[in-house]
Amino acid sequence: MQTPCIHVCSIAPETDLCRGCGRTLAEIGGWTSFSDAERRRLMALLPARLLESGLCTPPQPAISATTE
């Protein structure tokens, strides 16, 4: 079973979302009873939810060091 959990399990009081995966407590608690389609739908929403909530920032491009 796929899960968005990254083992950073802490609910942000200002959003009621997990800081690691972006799910609510109800979503976390019900995860195993959701259908595969429900889990896929929710997983598709989580990246935008985390960004909108301010709980994560988009990845920054890697800076490569050059030597001269």
Confidence of residue 56 (pLDDT cuts 50, 70, 90): confident
Instruction: Tally DSSP H helices, then E strands, for the chain.
Output: 2, 2
Across-strand partners of 54? none
Q: What is the pTM of this model?
A: 0.77
Report the pLDDT averaged over residues 22-31.
Answer: 96
Sign of CA dihedral 13, 5, 55, 9: positive
Cα separation of 40 and 37, whole Å? 5
DSSP letter assigned to residue 9: -
